[in-house]
Structure 1
């Protein structure tokens, strides 16, 4: 599913084959219109632009945890991107001129393929365990590992930027 590109580097050992450090439990599944990686939006902005709703099905054992979530306008979903390779440590994105380390990218290919999605919450049905979402950039059947309310007052960082600028030195060169 993933092809190696020039400039990419793999780890000597695939993290999927190493002993685990933690025990994750999947609490539900993403239900989306996307069944092939090539069709799936590459990010949440693109998912919203496509106008296709999605949902999350929470397993019965975890449905009580949805109590009070309907008050949130958005949620943060953490997913396990189970189709992604885990051994790429340097990647060459199709749209980039240079290779970058995995921690400088939002690619699903990473040692622990955790996806993060901030989605508008349209409806919550705690009894059925269904979260209705404005959209999602994850394949149908992607395991969900956590759901959190998004709080703009503490989660939004208005001055966040990827291309950091270094402040100019003052007259003393500091």
Structure 2
């Protein structure tokens, strides 16, 4: 099986320390502030984010169980296949969050809306673009 290398570009500084602390998808505490510290060698790629209010943040959930192929989401009565749910426990524990930018200064992006634990590696950030990232006619799971 072929493997691929991923290099963290930064780390999350979060008040959430252990599994269960973080709200699901950042939804329960959308105003909870935390920081994304971008490592020095990647700071040139930051810019100011002028005119951008939100970021897509790709995370490496390093504390996840990579052997699980199913899970029971909150509110579900039975387990579901891992690729149909948002569990952090998956073969490649890549997290996808959308965060609101509060400020950017000295390689630190202050954000709200993340559900990451403290010291979670950040593998990429991208600007959220409503015209292409929001698919109005889409259907999916209802998160409660």
Please list every run of at least 4 consecutive aligned residues from structure 1 whose deviation after the TM superposition is greater than 3 angstroms: none
Larger Rg: 1
Residue 38 of structure 1: how far off its partner (Å): 2.0
**Which protein has the bigger strand share?**
2
Match of 1:82 among 50, 55, 62: 62
Match of 2:27 among 45, 55, 75: 45
The answer to whether the 8 Å contact 2:19/2:117 transfers is yes
Q: Normalising by structure 2, what TM-score?
A: 0.91
Match of 1:121 among 90, 97, 101: 101
- Name the count of aligned residue pairs: 141
Q: Normalising by structure 1, what TM-score?
A: 0.76
1:70 aligned onto 2:26: no
Mind listing any 5+ residue stretches in structure 1 that lack a counterpart? Answer: 1-18, 164-174
Residue 123 of structure 1: how far off its partner (Å): 1.0
Residue 102 of structure 1: how far off its partner (Å): 0.4
Look up the match of 1:33.
15
The answer to whether the 8 Å contact 1:70/1:124 transfers is no
- 1:5-154 alignment to 2 at 5 Å? 21-48=3-30, 51-125=31-105, 128-154=106-132
Residue-by-residue CA offset, 1:79-134 (whole Å, 9 max, x unaligned): 00000000111222342112111000000000000000001111111xx2100102
Residue 39 of structure 1: how far off its partner (Å): 1.5
Look up the match of 2:133.
155
Question: Relative to structure 1, is the Cα distance of residues 46 and 106 closer, same or farther in structure 2, using a 3 angstrom cutoff?
Answer: same
**Which protein has the bigger helix share?**
1
Mind listing any 5+ residue stretches in structure 2 that lack a counterpart? Answer: none
